[in-house]
């Protein structure tokens, strides 16, 4: 359905990862000018900070319940926001990090609002991925990076390119087939380790990373052998970073074709 000029709108903005320092001026203005702000933040301090920018801020965190399917939780969040849009309000969904990265609620809310004819869009924020590159001094263009949600990586057969970085998100709920757990645990991580062992070996060094949420905090950066992952302290926001274990293999056939093209170009210039 084409976007109609009807009352009510929803803008999903990114708050960034670190309190106060990552939000863009445009996202801040959306929060300040909204009729209602729904916020899903990394902790209560961030929610309190958002509340200082608008008089009607409502937390989405309370929708999470142990034992309840996250699919049901996400639907409840979307319904709560869209009900206010339908009432004609200017709604903002303020999400920690980037609202489009490992966050299905903003995507689905925007899609449903558009289908109903309401104005809806997304405004980016600094994500945990952005912080990871800076804090670990990784250039994703040097060797390449493959990013997966950990459970999805486990559930489906993937071709691991071990000459590039492998970054696994939400490792704290690795292997959760029920979509109801806040964490899984060591036995589930053992399955992940066995999967990774086939390509990397247990002695390969991996990194646990957590982006800081407050300016006074430092990032969590812990390096150890893959074999130690099972006993490691894993939180909901923990990310597993696996550096390359092999060198990139030069594609000689492609280089040959490109050299032939270069030679033809030089010949044409001479002629």
Answer whether 160's CB lies under 8 Å from 197's CB. no
Among residues 28, 30, 63, 96, the one annotated as catalytic is 96
CA 101 to chain CA mean position, Å = 4
Among residues 70, 188, 200, 209, the one annotated as catalytic is 70
Burial class (CB in 10 A: 0-12, 13-18, 19+), 254: exposed
Q: Hey, which bits of 112-219 come out as E strands?
A: 119-123, 145-149, 165-169, 205-210
**Residue 64 bears catalytic tag:** no
Residue 204, both tokens? 């390969």
Among residues 63, 74, 118, 200, the one annotated as catalytic is 74
CA distance 58 to 47: 9
Distances (CA, A) of 41 to 44, 142, 269: 7, 32, 59
**Residue 58 bears catalytic tag:** no
| Coil, strand or helix at 183 | coil
Q: Which of 90, 7, 87, 76 is nearest to 40 (CA)?
A: 76
**Residue 70 bears catalytic tag:** yes
Q: Which residues are catalytic, by number?
A: 70, 74, 96
């Amino acid at each position: 359905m084409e976007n109609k000029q009807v009352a009510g709108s929803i803008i999903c903005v990114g708050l960034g990862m670190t309190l106060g320092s990552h939000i863009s001026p445009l996202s801040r203005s959306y929060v300040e000018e909204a009729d209602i702000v729904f916020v899903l933040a990394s902790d209560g301090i961030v929610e309190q900070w958002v509340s200082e920018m608008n008089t009607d801020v409502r937390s989405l965190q309370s929708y999470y319940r142990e034992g309840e399917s996250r699919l049901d939780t996400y639907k409840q969040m979307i319904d709560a926001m869209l009900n206010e849009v339908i009432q004609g309000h200017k709604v903002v969904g303020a999400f920690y990090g980037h609202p489009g990265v490992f966050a299905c609620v903003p995507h689905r809310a925007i899609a449903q609002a558009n289908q109903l004819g309401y104005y809806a869009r997304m405004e980016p924020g600094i994500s945990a991925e952005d912080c990871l590159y800076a804090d670990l001094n990784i250039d994703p263009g040097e060797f390449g990076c493959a990013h997966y949600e950990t459970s999805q990586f486990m559930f489906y057969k993937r071709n691991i390119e071990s000459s590039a970085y492998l970054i696994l998100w939400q490792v704290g709920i690795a292997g959760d087939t029920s979509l109801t757990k806040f964490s899984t645990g060591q036995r589930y991580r053992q399955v992940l380790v066995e999967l990774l062992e086939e390509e990397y070996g247990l002695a390969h060094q991996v990194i646990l990373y957590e982006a800081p949420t407050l300016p006074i905090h430092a990032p969590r950066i812990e390096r150890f052998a893959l074999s130690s992952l099972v006993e490691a302290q894993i939180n909901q926001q923990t990310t597993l970073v696996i550096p390359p274990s092999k060198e990139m293999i030069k594609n000689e056939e492609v280089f040959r074709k490109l050299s032939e093209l270069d030679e033809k170009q030089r010949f044409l210039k001479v002629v």
